[in-house]
């Protein structure tokens, strides 16, 4: 996920407590990597990510979007800093300061040259400088596209079609990691599974960073004293240029309450996959997509429901090394379809022991399969007349 530094009271100043809240929430929602958009963060955040275990893309504080950017629309390169040698020192200075300050943090796995800022000689030189200074980490740069000065192809908001073409092209050898995708504004993060249907079936397709983590709203009060999160022109700039709801685009609200889309992300990001091999006969396939963790560290449970009411449950052990999969034969009850009933089988994977980020018993993965029956809820009818009331701006 992409993360801006934001507090709903103090703005861009964030406390250690809020940083930890972000990190733990990300771990709870199966997020394992953060792009620091679009500037190096408070040094404390890196230390906490070193300790708690999040991968970071450290990004130079370089953006000249107002003058134009590659792959968006025509712009005048004769007036753009990325293509003018007199601007090279300013760009190199920001890159050097980032790398020299942050180079010893193991959580940083990728350097980024900047965001939406063109790709001229200035960035060719910046790429070369980083590779000469630190050849242990890859460098990514969305503005380079598939040019030579990026080790990772990292587009913004690619179409499903373009992703399929890249995945199918055997001449493409660089990793493909979207620097921004699945924009989380409003009722968003839909069709999220379609991205990962492609990612999970190609070695080069390696994920992406959702835009973005938190709504950048500021807590304030209306004329009646009711608190709300202000954005755009709410703080007095209504008649002037502002970002409107463009800053309210996070997976979590300004107070870190997860939006509904966050639960879709958690489901698709989960590292334990349970698939139906022949579930009606108790046969499922379990795959461990963790890099370092054996599934013996988790509890596995199944629960059988009839019309939404639990009727049976059971637990079963799973011993499975990272990146392995195996069929499991479960001792499930025999169920026959019956009129007016439908049966669903739920699986839940929870932690056995507490960790720095997750409590014992925390659910890290789940799955559901239809088990028997195919019925809809009963339709209720009444002769009572529908009454609609509109009071205090509420229906």
* Contact status, residue 288 vs residue 233, Cβ threshold 8 Å: no
DSSP H helical segments within the chain, as ranges?
16-28, 43-52, 88-102, 121-133, 160-168, 192-199, 260-269
Query: What is the spatial distance between Cα 69 and Cα 117, in angstroms, rounded to a whole number?
Result: 5
CA-wise closest residue to 84 among 112, 58, 123: 123
Backbone φ/ψ region at 14: left (φ over 0), alpha (ψ -120 to 50), beta: beta
Among residues 59, 116, 264, 367, which one is catalytic? 116
* Contact status, residue 92 vs residue 130, Cβ threshold 8 Å: no
Among residues 70, 180, 264, 342, which one is catalytic? 180
Q: Could you confirm whether 59 is annotated as catalytic? A: no
Query: What is the spatial distance between Cα 266 and Cα 250, in angstroms, rounded to a whole number?
Result: 14
DSSP per residue, 191-249: THHHHHHHHTT-SSEEEEEES-SB---EEEE-TTS-EEEE-GGGGTTTTS---GGGG--
Query: What is the spatial distance between Cα 26 and Cα 18, in angstroms, rounded to a whole number?
Result: 12
DSSP per residue, 308-320: TEEEEEEEE----
Backbone φ/ψ region at 120: left (φ over 0), alpha (ψ -120 to 50), beta: beta
* Contact status, residue 139 vs residue 151, Cβ threshold 8 Å: yes
Task: Give the three-state DSSP class for 43.
Answer: helix
Question: C-alpha distances in angstroms, 109 versus 102, 173, 322?
Answer: 11, 19, 21
Backbone φ/ψ region at 180: left (φ over 0), alpha (ψ -120 to 50), beta: beta
* Contact status, residue 114 vs residue 60, Cβ threshold 8 Å: yes
Q: Could you confirm whether 180 is annotated as catalytic? A: yes
Query: Which sequence positions are flagged as catalytic?
Result: 116, 180
């Amino acid at each position: 996920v992409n993360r801006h530094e934001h507090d709903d009271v103090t703005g861009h100043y964030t406390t250690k407590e809020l940083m930890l809240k972000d990190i733990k929430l990300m771990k709870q929602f199966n997020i394992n990597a953060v792009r620091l958009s679009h500037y190096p963060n408070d040094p404390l955040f890196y230390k906490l990510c070193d300790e708690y275990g999040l991968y970071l893309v450290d990004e130079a504080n370089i953006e000249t979007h107002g003058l134009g950017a590659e792959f968006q629309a025509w712009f005048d390169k004769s007036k753009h800093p990325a293509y003018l040698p007199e601007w090279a020192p300013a760009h190199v200075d920001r890159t050097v300061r980032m790398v020299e300050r942050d180079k010893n943090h193991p959580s940083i796995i990728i350097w980024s040259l900047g965001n939406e800022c063109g790709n001229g000689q200035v960035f060719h030189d910046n790429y070369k400088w980083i590779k000469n200074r630190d050849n242990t980490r890859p460098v990514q740069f969305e503005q380079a596209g598939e040019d030579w000065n990026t080790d990772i192809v990292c587009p913004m908001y690619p179409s499903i079609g373009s992703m399929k073409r890249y995945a199918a092209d055997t001449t493409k050898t660089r990793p493909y990691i979207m620097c921004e995708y699945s924009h989380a504004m409003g009722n968003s993060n839909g069709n999220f599974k379609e991205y990962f249907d492609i990612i999970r079936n190609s070695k080069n397709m390696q994920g992406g960073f959702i835009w973005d983590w938190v709504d950048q709203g500021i807590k304030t009060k209306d004329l009646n004293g009711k608190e709300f999160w202000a954005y755009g022109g709410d703080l007095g700039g209504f008649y002037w240029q502002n970002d409107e709801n463009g800053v309210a685009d996070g997976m979590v609200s300004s107070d870190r309450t997860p939006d509904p889309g966050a639960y879709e992300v958690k489901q698709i990001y989960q590292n334990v996959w349970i698939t139906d091999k022949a579930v009606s006969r108790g046969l499922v396939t379990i795959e461990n997509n963790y890099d370092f963790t054996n599934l013996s560290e988790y509890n596995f449970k199944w629960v059988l429901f009839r019309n939404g009411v639990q009727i049976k449950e059971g637990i079963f052990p799973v011993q499975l090394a990272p990146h392995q999969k195996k069929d499991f034969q479960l001792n499930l009850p025999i169920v026959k379809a019956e009129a007016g009933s439908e049966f669903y089988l739920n699986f839940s994977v929870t932690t056995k022991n507490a960790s720095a980020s997750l409590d014992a018993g925390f659910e890290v993965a789940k799955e559901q399969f239809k088990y028997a029956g195919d019925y809809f809820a009963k339709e209720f009818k009444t002769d009572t007349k529908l009454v609609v009331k509109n009071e205090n701006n509420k229906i």
